[in-house]
Amino acid sequence: MPYLNVTEVESAVTSLATAYPDLTQLVTLPEPSFEGRTAHALVIGEPAATPKPCVLMIGGVHAREWGSCEILVHLAADLLEAHRNGTGLGYGGTAFTAGQVSGLLHRLDLVVYPLVNPDGRNYSQTVRPMWRKNRNPANAGGNPDSDCVGVDLNRNYDFLFDFVTAFDPKADPQVSTDPCDQQVYAGPSPFSEPETRNVQWLLDQLPLTRWFVDVHSYSQDVLYNWGDDDNQSVDPDMNFRNSAYDGKRGLPGDLAYSEYIPKEDEDAAVLLAEAFCKGVNGVRGLSYKPMTGFHLYPTSGTSDDYAYSRGFADPDLGKVLGFTIEWGTEFHPRWAEMEEIIRDVDAGLVQFCLATA
């Protein structure tokens, strides 16, 4: 099969909800896109008398990263079919027993939101394949093909959004204040976009979310917090909320600033990232690399750092470890290779979820 278009992604999600009513709940996201599209997420898990901890997985954020939607749709379908049939799951050399699958859905709720940016995906698949942003027309002057259309949704979250103030002038975070930057324009304000507000809404609606995964491409990595600077677990006061460190963030290996993370959180994040890589490696021998987001490049306003930062800004929200998967080595692999990548990443994600125990 070829890559799914926007209608097919949504149809796949709603069809799974219809086919597995005993194991799923269809969630309609509250805000339509600029072009009027409504998105859906799927909660997967065995019914339980009390709420269960949750893994929230999102995809399709950057329009040109087509395979992310397919990865999450196939993951949902595989788990549901394996649970119903009691057959377990096999991805190349990585296999999971029927008991592991049923235990996973008994212990956790998995929330799969495969297509955060439907307008952008539609434009990428029909007009401009390398389009990355959403389709916010505010700065385009009426020209739908202008670079000035859109916002990079993975720079629009409320984490060090004012990067000009937060970062050292010598740092080079991959983010821009220029509305005509075709790659990393952050938008006029945090959560200015309906797509990022939908993700925020899901986190608000799912207070037992403990792990957040954003599926992207490409570089064959799994990233964990933080993305703004090196990690440190010594000085809790050296953190993203402390304005005394404004203008000092974003330089690797210096003594002026490193982002605080409790050691137990970093240890847990590393173990989960390594579990993901183990699952991937078993399929056909690929070696994905676990690292902090900062070691890919410095960022602000990203989904994974926002998800984790919420618990520091308001402890009542609970702790959510944030991860970003960077699958593959190109944005549009030929479909035969994309099918292999789907197996790689889905094996990694199942292994990741099992490791949350």
* One-character DSSP codes across 35-103: T----EEEEE----SS---EEEEE---STT-THHHHHHHHHHHHHHHHHHHT--EEETTEEE-HHHHHH
Residue 287 lies in a domain: yes
pLDDT for 195: 98
Residue 208 inside a domain? The answer is yes
How far apart, in Å, are the Cα atoms of 22 and each of 11, 17, 46, 54, 208? Answer: 19, 9, 7, 18, 21
Tens of pLDDT, residue by residue over 46-80, are 999 999 999 999 999 999 999 999 999 999 999 99
Q: Which of 176, 31, 23, 22 is nearest to 111 (CA)?
A: 23
DSSP E strands, the chain: 24-28, 40-44, 54-58, 89-91, 94-96, 109-113, 209-217, 221-224, 231-232, 259-260, 289-292, 321-327
Is 80 exceeded by the pLDDT of residue 353?
Answer: yes
CATH number of the domain that 22 lies in? 3.40.630.10
Number of separate domains in the chain: 1
Q: Nearest-CA neighbor of 306 among 283, 324, 331? A: 324
291-337 pLDDT, tens digit each = 999 999 999 999 999 999 999 999 999 999 999 999 999 999 999 99
Q: What is the pLDDT of residues 142-161, one digit of tens each?
A: 999 999 999 999 999 999 99
pLDDT at position 167 over 90: yes
How far apart, in whole angstroms, are the C-alpha atoms of residue 113 and residue 15? 14
- Chain center to CA of 49: 29
- Asked whether the beta carbons of 42 and 17 are under 8 A apart, the reply is yes
Percentage with pLDDT > 90 across the chain: 99
At 1, the pLDDT band (50, 70, 90 cuts) reads low
pTM: 0.98
Cα–Cα distance for residue pair 219/235, rounded to 1 Å:
32
Query: Quick check: is 329 in a domain?
Result: yes
Which segments within 173-229 are labelled E, that is strand? 209-217, 221-224
Provide φ and ψ at 21, rounded to 5°: -65, -20
219 occurs within a structural domain: yes
The string of pLDDT tens digits covering residues 81-126 is 999 999 999 999 999 999 999 999 999 999 999 999 999 999 999 9
At residue 144, the pLDDT reads 96
Q: How many CB atoms lie within 10 A of CB 212?
A: 27
| Res 264: pLDDT | 98
Scan for tokens 């009027």, then name that residue: 36
Rounded CA-CA distance 150/136 in Å is 4
The residue with tokens 């740092």 is 171
* CA 148 – CA 166 distance, rounded (Å): 25
Mean pLDDT score of the chain: 97
Question: Does any domain span residue 1?
Answer: no
70 domain-assigned: yes
- Closest residue by Cα to residue 9 from 148, 94, 118, 142: 118
With H, G, I as helix, E, B as strand and everything else as coil, classify residue 125: helix
Beta bridge partners of 231: 259
pLDDT of amino acid 139: 97
Residues 6+ apart with CB under 8 A from 63: 117, 119, 120, 121, 123, 124, 131, 132, 133, 134
In a domain, 63, yes or no: yes
Range of 205's domain? 6-355
pLDDT score for 58: 98
Residue range 192-208, pLDDT digits in tens: 999 999 999 999 999 99
CA atoms of 111 and 50, how far apart (whole Å): 17
CB 165 within 8 A of CB 246: yes
Q: Does position 355 have pLDDT exceeding 90, yes or no?
A: yes
pLDDT tens-digit readout, 224-275: 999 999 999 999 999 999 999 999 999 999 999 999 999 999 999 999 999 9
Count Cβ neighbours within 10 Å for each residue of 318-350 and write b for 16 or more, e otherwise: ebbbbbbbbbbeebbbeeeebebbbbbbbbbbb
Whether the CB-CB separation of 25 and 17 falls below 8 Å is answered with yes
Mean pLDDT of 17-32: 98
Distance in angstroms (rounded) separating the CA atoms of residues 90 and 283: 9
